[in-house]
Chain A
Amino acid sequence: MSALLELQGVTAFYGAIQALKGIDLTVNEGEIVTLIGANGAGKSTLMMTICGTPRARDGRIVYDGVDIHAMPTHEIMRRRIAQSPEGRRIFARMSVYENLLMGAYGREPAEATETMAQVFTMFPRLQERRDQRGGTLSGGEQQMLAIGRALMSRPRLLLLDEPSLGLAPLVSKAIFAAIKELNRTTGLTVLLVEQNAIQALKLAHRGYVLVNGAITMQGSGAELLARPEIRAAYLEGGH
């Protein structure tokens, strides 16, 4: 397997506070990799650092053989990396259709139409709500919209930040099923950040555990699920 994304010794700062302390992480082509950790461990920062805001201070972020860590955000995102950001961040006053179109920003209109049809096949609810304002959707539908919007750019690598946030268990299960299906049928590479560690580790091929801005453990999903310290910290604890 070849690495699609490779982070080597990446650090990031918010002012004087170090949020990431030398992260080494690899995501291979076609894999689902999950990043679990407590609140404030730096999961979302890591996702945003891959996209260039905040910018990595040291280290290298190699995507598809190219070091992208110094590139402007919009150029990184044009290299078929897409992010469904934390908290969904859909455009509340714009319709579902317009939200999806924004995902295809800078792409050919014909390509956008085709991709949108695929997104609608995957999430029929979005098609039903096509002309509805994004802000009036339910939480689960908004999450579908956020993922659908990210898929509109036809990414090779999808960065998913807490897709189950604030969703009913049944709904988040459906979202996870959709991610799995997507990975299985299209070979889409996914880097998934989750607090819901059980679901995430069950879904993922491999996982990393992030504590205070540093990676403390890694291994296959099943392996991590079996580790007693993981169980204690993330599965049976307060999360």
Chain B
Amino acid sequence: MPGTMRDALKDAAISALIAFGLFGAMVGLPTVTGPGGKLSLDPQPLTVAIIVAVVFVGRLGMLLWQGRPKAPPKPISAAPSRFQFARIAGVVLLAVAATLPIYGGRYMIDNGVLVMTYVMLGWGLNIVVGLAGLLDLGYVAFYAVGAYSYALLSQDFGWGFWTCLPLAGILAAFWGILLGFPVLRLRGDYLAIVTLAFGEIIRIVLLNWTSLTGGPNGISGIPRPTLFGLKFTNTDDPGTFAGFFGLEPSLTHRAAFLYYVIFALALLTNWVSTRLRRLPLGRAWEALREDEIACRALGINVTVTKLTAFAIGAAFGGFAGAFFATRQAFVSPESFTFIESAIVLAVVVLGGLGSQLGVALAALVMIGGGEVFRDFNEYRMLIFGVALVVVMVVRPRGLVSGRTPSVTLGKGVHIGADMMSQGHG
């Protein structure tokens, strides 16, 4: 089947090209501080070549293993090919993300953790804003609830990360419902203002309730996560990760472990939200975003539907918060200011409301890009702002806009960006 092979090769080459575009500069051109604090580029062509090769071979193998669809779908319009592009980009991103600790250094892993945290937060907020269409400007509140839940539970009861993780999610969901009740009747701007206030209330309470939260000093000494009881330390004592596996003790192990924890949490968020979208509840969220009165007329319990969106979105914020606490080993109200909510919302809007891949890309560009530009110091925020404006001018509906129906009888017809309204209209 020469045609099949050629198609697969072409497909894999495109994947490799995308990988090169995505990671050529990010991975291949890290900056190093030379003598005298001078910054210089340290090209890493080999690493980039390895990534591109891995993507190429991986995609090729995948396609051949699946036996490549016989006839490529006829491009009726530009939309299907864009849809295919999205799938390829998703696979490439996933492959690169999954192998990051293998080829990346400590700095890369730490950045990866940061980006992945925002990917997860973005996906969590996407449930509320992108699917249910409820503009939430106080998402950081749930992040804070999750972080302080873990911090306090571990301090006061000595519970470990894995015990507290679900509890942090549950507590955040509870606060999500609590916020949801008073704002049930609100939409759009009004909802945004109330959620904004809610986010600030949580932060100010954390700041002032000194006896419980330590006030502005925060809580330090939060225990690190363990892998089935194995600690990650700088020694190879028995009971540590390095000691158990007989490895050279290195703190990079912990960084890599943290990376995989947040990677798994983010994947869980993605899995749950894509699954929910296909269930009646997820469809009800989308219908609610489209027209609330019609939803009422169809007998949908709008109250419950909104509250579940708030609760599930908040729960993922809580998980991410608990992770944040364990990663930093320290939490203080300073980490939960409005700017965090704004960044997460920007990730969602920039990525394209409701688009899983778009959110991941936007987080990568915004957070990862922000780190890359760190060397530009004060110009960083300027570049960031300009980039935001440019994206919104060029692609007003987000990086990956368009919507694929969650259920179809025949083949799915992707709804192109040109058919979508701007914002969440």
Contacts and interface: CB of A to CB of B under 8 A. Distances in A.
Given A51-B296, A74-B300, A153-B299, A95 B290 contact: no
Contact of B407 (A83, A85, A101): A101
Interface stretch (B45-53, B138-146, B408-416): B408-416
Interface in A87-103: 89-95, 97-98, 101-103
A89 B291 contact: yes
Contact of B297 (A77, A130, A132, A133): A77
Most chain-A CB neighbours within 10 Å: which of B280, B295, B297, B421?
B297
A91 B410 contact: no
Nearest to B304: A74
B293 interface: yes
Contact of B280 (A74, A94, A97, A105): A105
A112 B3 CA distance: 42
B299 A78 contact: yes
A101 B293 contact: no
A62 B227 CA distance: 62
Contacts of B280: 101, 105-106
A103 B291 CA distance: 13
Interface in A15-53: 51, 53
A58 B294 CA distance: 25
A158 B193 CA distance: 39
A73 B280 CA distance: 19
A74 B407 contact: no
B403 interface: yes
Contact of B291 (A51, A73, A74, A91): A91
A64 interface: no
Nearest to A77: B299
Contacts of A103: 298
Nearest to B411: A131
A81 B292 CA distance: 18
For chain A, which range describes its interface: under 10, 10 to 19, 20 to 34, or 35 or more residues? 35 or more
A9 interface: no
Given A85-B293, A93-B420, A102-B283, A131 B300 contact: no
Contact of A93 (B284, B403, B412): B403
Contacts of A94: 283, 286-287, 290, 405
Interface in B315-332: none
A95 B290 CA distance: 12
B415 A93 contact: yes
B412 to A, nearest CB: 7
B409 A97 contact: yes
Most chain-B CB neighbours within 10 Å: which of A72, A73, A84, A90?
A73
B99 interface: no
A105 B299 contact: yes
B83 to A, nearest CB: 13
Given A91-B291, A131-B410, A153 B405 contact: no
A187 interface: no
B297 to A, nearest CB: 4
Interface of A: 51, 53, 72-74, 76-78, 82-85, 89-95, 97-98, 101-103, 105-106, 130-133, 135-136, 149-150, 153
The 4 closest A-B pairs by CB, nearest first: A77-B299, A89-B294, A91-B290, A74-B301
Given A93-B421, A94-B405, 15 more contacts: A72-B301, A74-B302, A77-B299, A93-B415, A94-B287, A95-B408, A97-B405, A97-B407, A98-B406, A101-B280, A101-B283, A102-B295, A133-B419, A135-B419, A150-B298
16 contacts: A74-B299, A74-B300, A77-B298, A91-B294, A92-B421, A93-B286, A93-B290, A94-B283, A101-B283, A102-B295, A102-B298, A105-B298, A106-B280, A106-B299, A130-B410, A131-B405
